[in-house]
Amino acid sequence: MKAIKIDGRSIAEALRASVARDVALLRDECKFTPGLAVVLVGKDPASSVYVKTKARQAQAVGFKSQQFQLPSDVDEAELLAVIEELNADESIDGILVQLPLPGHINRWRVLEAISPAKDVDGFHPYNVGRLAAGRPALAPCTPLGIVHLINTVVSDLNGLDVVVIGRSNIVGKPLALLLGDAGCTVTGAQLQTRNLPSICRKADIVVAAAGCAELVRGNWLKPGAIVIDVGINRAIDSIGNIRLVGDVAFAEASERASYITPVPGGVGPMTVAYLLANTVKAAVSRRGLSLVRNFESSYISQSCSREHDRALDLERLT
């Protein structure tokens, strides 16, 4: 069997196009433009690239996009003051503070300072708790993107066995919740998990998010499994070139899997696309509105009046 690649770039592009249509509709009918603020502390090269991509794509879909670049030795109090200002800014619907933060800053104090209604990363304990309770919430972008990718190749996840390797707050833990809600039997694994290969071999879907280059080998997979690779690792090849590799040994895994995400071009683009989708969701929720997407005819928007809310398929935060 030769696996089919799940093309995250084109799936993300379609989602961004749908977000851009939402933005045009909100501008034309509701007279507002969603605003996204992205805050970067320091000059970590990878974070700088991510933040630029997020700001560029935010502009491309028609958002008001603001970028804040703070020095690596910024006081925590100064960073908190920026967040407070953004919380109070009516033109800003989404606030993202790029992680990791420098060691002298308490990450949790920062994440908890972001208004839960503007928490487009879904990292605030309020949203984490609501997600865990199965309540409408702003959920983290990478897990939302992964579920979307899986849904492009299998529409009914009910009863499927999934192994999620990695238990980070950004990917593994929220993804396990989302997949559990979709009816999957989820095994949360990590590098230390005993018998990891044999656990993976029983799974219909393997998600590798452990941050370990080429951890998942071809012979760890059940024939026909769906493989989602969240890893982005730098590896040096036999002639000394640096290349990006995932947490899955791609060539081997492609011989056993039915579908597989490439690195790059798989999960990564979906994370940014869901940041944009979450910003629209936050923008409409904050105003007591709702948008219902119909993927056949792109989307249907309901009236921008609060009275209609109850009649709609709401995904409100309040």
**Which sequence positions are flagged as catalytic?**
54, 98, 121
For ligand GUN, the closer CB: 23 or 96:
96
For ligand GUN, the closer CB: 199 or 213:
213
Nearest alpha carbon to residue 82 among 141, 140, 128, 38: 38
For the chain, the C-alpha Rg in angstroms (whole number) is: 20
Smallest gap from residue 5 Cβ to ligand GUN (A): 23
Smallest gap from residue 271 Cβ to ligand GUN (A): 6
Smallest gap from residue 60 Cβ to ligand GUN (A): 19
Smallest gap from residue 122 Cβ to ligand GUN (A): 9
User: How many of the other CB atoms lie within 10 Å of CB of 75?
Assistant: 12
Question: Applying CB under 6 A, does 141 fall inside the site for ligand GUN?
Answer: yes
For ligand GUN, the closer CB: 122 or 262:
122
DSSP 19-49: HHHHHHHIIIII----EEEEEEES--HHHHH
Q: Quick check: 207 and 230 in contact, CB under 8 A?
A: yes
Among 271, 278, 285, 301, binds ligand GUN (CB under 6 A): 271
Tallying the residues shown for the chain, one arrives at 318
User: How many of the other CB atoms lie within 10 Å of CB of 30?
Assistant: 17
For ligand GUN, the closer CB: 121 or 204:
121
Does 264 sit behind a cis peptide bond, omega within 30 degrees of 0 on the bond before it? yes
Please give the DSSP secondary-structure letter assigned to residue 183: T
Question: Applying CB under 6 A, does 247 fall inside the site for ligand GUN?
Answer: no
Phi, then psi, of 109 in degrees rounded to 5? -60, -40
Interaction residues for ligand GUN, span 84-123 (CB under 6 A)? 96-99, 121
Site residues, ligand GUN (CB under 6 A): 96-99, 121, 141-142, 170, 271
